[in-house]
């Protein structure tokens, strides 16, 4: 398949010029880029934590694998501990300290000082920068580092003092920090950022072709749409060196300005037993939403967290036996100490297998046939894959703050 390319585009912003690179997106957005969607109203029949003396707890794990690398679910996994100190980003930090996620990066951190509030996200480096001698991973990993640090220092949504930080604003803070970072000479990335409050509210800002899906009791409750300028050309945050801007000005080219303000925002109310997945397009290009639902439903049912009853599928009243380190009630408890990590590795493992399957057409292959019917493309799409999984639970309060 011929790889589409677009000319470098001159930005009117001196700090954050952008250049358009094609690489991975295979889906077109159905909503305007600046729209805000609320799939579920905040007024719901589910009691709030204050009304029933419960608190929301977010159990988070991530899994990842770089393109061309062998996947090992016992090592390519991350367990979030809210008490780990977030180290400030350092210019020129060694690449050896990064997880083996290739050009994909992720972060999970405390959100402000309120116990139980979480910020998380995924950034996918734009591979087209490699043609200019730039490592796309530098940008994606740096913006995740900066967003994590900004989230810890943020004013959380539930304090009632000051103006709370939004998901778009957190993305903006990370982007501005990257633009000022002298170690980042050039590069670009898509980004998806989520904020989880102690009141059970989720806000997601998505720019580009990473995305999220929210699963509830054997069903897809909500999911994001990708943002693309054209086939294989996602919205992206970028830093462009002056020399490239001069060439673009000399030889022409249309303008492109993708900024955090262009991210689509979705707000949702969460419930006990929900499973939230944020992932790079390496997952969405190889697994359909129903594939992810099938994997999660099977894993939750096998563990006993979702159970079929006469009233339909119900969530286990207490999820702590499944989500606490060393206490996961699963057949793979020795290698996957929590249910959220098992879900993460099951999803990434399936996406990895699909990406190298030359016989089974995935979402990307179907989109190629849709836009380029004469192109020959079968099977999956090899790419870096990264997924962050959140298993939502409500627990009695007061208890020791944990996620």
Question: Is a pLDDT exceeding 50 seen at residue 224?
Answer: yes
What mean pLDDT, rounded, does the chain reach? 81
Which CATH fold would you assign to the domain 55-396?
Answer: Phosphatase 2c; domain 1 (3.60.40)
Question: Could you tell me the pTM of the whole model?
Answer: 0.83
Q: What is the pLDDT of residues 73-95, one digit of tens each?
A: 999 999 998 766 555 555 455 68
Asked if 330 contacts 303 with a C-beta cutoff of 8 angstroms, the reply is: yes
pLDDT reported for residue 15: 32
Asked if 305 contacts 337 with a C-beta cutoff of 8 angstroms, the reply is: no
Asked if 293 contacts 368 with a C-beta cutoff of 8 angstroms, the reply is: no
pLDDT reported for residue 57: 94
Name the more confident of 28 and 310: 310
Name the more confident of 248 and 171: 171
When pLDDT is cut at 50, 70 and 90, the band that residue 252 belongs to is low
Dihedral of CA atoms 220, 223, 226, 227 in degrees, nearest 10, equals 150
Residues of the chain above pLDDT 90, percent: 58
For the chain, the residue count is: 403
Highest mean pLDDT among 17-26, 59-68, 326-335: 59-68
d(CA 394, CA 403): 11
Q: Kindly report the three-state secondary structure assignment for every residue of the chain.
A: CCCCCCCCCCCCCCCCCCCCCCCCCCCCCCCCCCCEECCCCCCCCCCCHHHHCEEEEEEEEEEEECCCCCCCCCCCEEECCCCCCCCCCCCCCCHHHCCCCCCEEEEEEECCCCCCCEEEEEEEECHHHHHHCCCHHHHHHHHHHHHHHHHHCCCCCCCCCCCCCCHHHHHHHHHHHHHHCCCCCCEEEEEEEEEECCCCEEEEEEECCCEEEEECCCCEEEECCCCEEECCEECCEEECCHHHHHHHHHHCCCCCCCCHHHCEEEEEECCCCCEEEEECHHHHCCCCHHHHHHHHHHHHHHHCCEEEECCEEEECCCCHHHHCCCCCCCCCCCCCCCHHHHHHHHHHHHHHHHHCCCCCCCHHHHHHHHHCCCCCCCCCCCCCEEEEEEEEEEEECCCCCCC
* Range 241-254 average pLDDT: 67
Burial class (CB in 10 A: 0-12, 13-18, 19+), 382: middle
pLDDT reported for residue 300: 97
Asked if 60 contacts 389 with a C-beta cutoff of 8 angstroms, the reply is: yes
Q: What is the pLDDT of residues 132-184, one digit of tens each?
A: 889 999 999 999 999 999 999 887 555 555 678 999 999 999 999 999 999 99
pLDDT reported for residue 104: 97
pLDDT reported for residue 58: 96
Q: What is the pLDDT of residues 295-332, one digit of tens each?
A: 999 999 999 999 988 888 899 999 999 998 754 454 44
* Range 268-284 average pLDDT: 98
Asked if 272 contacts 44 with a C-beta cutoff of 8 angstroms, the reply is: no
d(CA 401, CA 403): 7
Name the more confident of 139 and 240: 139
Report phi then psi at 349, rounded to 5. -60, -40
- State the sign of the Cα–Cα–Cα–Cα dihedral 353, 356, 362, 367: positive
- Segments making up each domain of the chain, as ranges: 55-396
pLDDT reported for residue 37: 54
Q: What is the pLDDT of residues 333-370, one digit of tens each?
A: 445 579 999 999 999 999 999 999 999 999 999 999 88
């Amino acid at each position: 398949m011929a790889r589409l390319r677009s000319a470098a585009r001159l930005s009117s912003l001196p700090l954050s010029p952008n250049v358009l690179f094609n690489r991975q997106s295979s889906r077109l957005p159905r909503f305007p880029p600046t729209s805000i969607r609320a799939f579920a109203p905040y007024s719901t029949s589910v009691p709030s934590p204050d009304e029933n003396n419960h608190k929301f707890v977010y159990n988070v794990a991530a899994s990842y694998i770089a393109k061309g690398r062998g996947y090992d679910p016992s090592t390519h996994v991350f367990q979030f501990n809210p008490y780990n100190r977030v180290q400030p980003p350092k210019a020129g930090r060694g690449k050896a300290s990064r997880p083996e996620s290739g050009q994909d990066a992720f972060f999970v951190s405390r959100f402000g000082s309120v116990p139980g509030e979480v910020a998380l996200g995924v950034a996918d480096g734009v591979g087209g920068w490699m043609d200019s001698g730039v490592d796309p991973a530098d940008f994606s990993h740096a913006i995740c580092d900066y967003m994590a640090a900004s989230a810890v220092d943020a004013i959380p949504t539930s304090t009632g003092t000051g103006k709370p930080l939004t998901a778009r604003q957190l993305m903006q803070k990370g982007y501005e920090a990257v633009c000022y970072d002298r170690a980042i000479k050039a590069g670009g990335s898509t980004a998806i950022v989520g904020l989880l409050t102690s009141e059970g509210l989720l806000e997601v800002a998505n720019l580009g072709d990473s995305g999220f899906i929210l699963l509830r009791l054997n069903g897809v409750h909500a999911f994001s749409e990708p943002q693309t300028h054209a086939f294989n050309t996602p919205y992206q945050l970028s830093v462009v060196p002056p020399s490239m801007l001069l060439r673009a000005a000399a030889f022409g080219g249309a303008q492109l300005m993708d900024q955090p303000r262009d991210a689509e925002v979705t707000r949702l109310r969460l419930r006990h037993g929900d499973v939230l997945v944020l992932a790079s397009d390496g997952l969405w290009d190889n697994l359909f939403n129903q594939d992810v639902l099938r994997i999660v439903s099977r894993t939750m049912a096998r563990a006993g967290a979702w159970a079929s009853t006469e009233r339909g599928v119900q969530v286990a009243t207490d999820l702590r036996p499944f989500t606490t380190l060393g206490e996961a009630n699963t057949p793979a408890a020795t290698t996957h100490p929590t249910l959220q990590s098992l879900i993460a590795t099951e999803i990434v493992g399936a996406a990895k297998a699909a990406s190298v399957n030359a016989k089974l057409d995935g979402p990307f292959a179907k989109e190629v046939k849709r836009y380029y019917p004469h192109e020959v493309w079968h099977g999956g799409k090899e790419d870096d894959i990264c997924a962050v999984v959140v298993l939502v639970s409500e627990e009695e309060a007061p208890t020791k703050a944990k996620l």
